Amino acid sequence: MTEARSPADRCLVLNLIKSWFYPLRIYIPYVIDVIMVSDPEHIKRIEASGDVDRLHTYSGRALPWWVRFYFRATKFYDEERDLWFLPLESSSDPSYAGRRAYFEDKVSTGYTQEDIDRIARLLRANADEDVVAHEMVQVVNRRFFGEEIPPPITEAAKCALQTFGEAALPWRYLAARRAQHRVMTHCAARLPKDAHVLDVAHNIGEVVQAAVGTLLRLRDNLDRPVEDIFTSHAPTPQVPRIAIRSSTFGGLLLFPTRPAKTVVIFKIGKAAAKTHDLLFTFSTGRPERACVFQGFFLAFMRDLQQALRQLETLQNQTHMLQ
């Protein structure tokens, strides 16, 4: 007869299986090594460990081939100028503090009641998503240019890749590369010298691709707290990190990460939905390096929600009088 396995043996087998799938690791030697982390506590623990950092800790050429291939067709990286979006820069980068301070200063100028009313009217009228996107881009990004961003640029910005799967479609990939080049060229020509070209170009794309969905969700949920909308449907579903030290993250992994080779994807959208914690919507569960626009967007959405309620009430009163 086959000897029954002891509880300790069964536990070891279960732990080995779990180490492959929780967090999920996709490892193909010489091809790809990526770890998906969605557990909120694991995200915070790994982020604070010092074993991972932002992608631009390493030069573009030193990153894994698939990272370079994908990101050069996104709004996060400009291969031609070798520029990365601020949240993908290490805090140790000499430019980081100055770039963040510039953003904080620009964001502090806020928005106007006219901005709120214009977006509210468009949403109430069920305007086309592209129209809403273009107007919201002005609210967020006019402060950097001192002028309107033209429709062809906001239209191009929505073409940047948003998922790894899109990179496998040649026509989609080439269109994204062309669109990214167009947006970057416009920003380089029109922005003042003290602005970081990619940081602003990214913001245009982020508003077009992510913020508009949040606006529509707000319109359809006027009695739902803004914080709940932002945590149940986080605009940014995931953020990448790269290993800078060999580590199993305290035993979470079956075998250790490889510096400059292993990429960690924090599924912050899932973590935000699970915890209802805004720090996962705008960061990785920790206040350090939270999104500069966090306060801006929360305040804007609260004011917009109030404006939409008022328009709804006014419209209902008008219908009653007819």
Question: Left (φ > 0), alpha (ψ -120 to 50) or beta: where does 21 sit?
Answer: alpha
Using alpha carbons, select from 51, 29, 102, 41 the residue that is nearest to residue 244.
Answer: 51
| CA–CA distance, 175 with 57 (Å, rounded to integer) | 28
Query: Does residue 12 sit within a domain?
Result: no
Question: Do strands 83-84 and 239-243 pair parallel, antiparallel, or not at all (unpaired)?
Answer: unpaired
| Helices 113-124, 294-321: crossing angle, 10 deg rounding | 50
Using alpha carbons, select from 208, 78, 192 the residue that is nearest to residue 144.
Answer: 192
Query: Does residue 4 sit within a domain?
Result: no
CATH number of the domain residue 286 falls in = 1.10.630.10
3-state SS assignment for residue 238: coil
Query: Does residue 3 sit within a domain?
Result: no
% of the chain with per-residue pLDDT over 70:
91
pLDDT at 315: 75
pLDDT at 2: 45
Residue 77 has pLDDT above 60, yes or no: yes
Residue type, 211: A
**pLDDT bracket for residue 7 (50, 70, 90):** low
238-245: average pLDDT: 98
* pLDDT tens digits, one per residue of 172-209: 999 999 999 999 999 999 999 999 999 999 999 999 99
Residue type, 167: A
123-127: average pLDDT: 96
CA 213 to chain centroid: 13
β-pair partners for 24: 21, 36
% of the chain with per-residue pLDDT over 90:
88
Query: Does residue 7 sit within a domain?
Result: no
Query: Does residue 77 sit within a domain?
Result: yes
* pLDDT tens digits, one per residue of 11-38: 545 454 554 456 999 999 989 999 999 9
Query: Does residue 156 sit within a domain?
Result: yes
Query: Does residue 294 sit within a domain?
Result: yes
pLDDT at 313: 85
Tell me how many domains the chain contains.
1
3-state SS assignment for residue 25: strand
Query: Does residue 157 sit within a domain?
Result: yes
Contacts of residue 96, Cβ cutoff 8 Å, sequence gap at least 6: 86, 89, 90
* Domain housing 224: 21-321
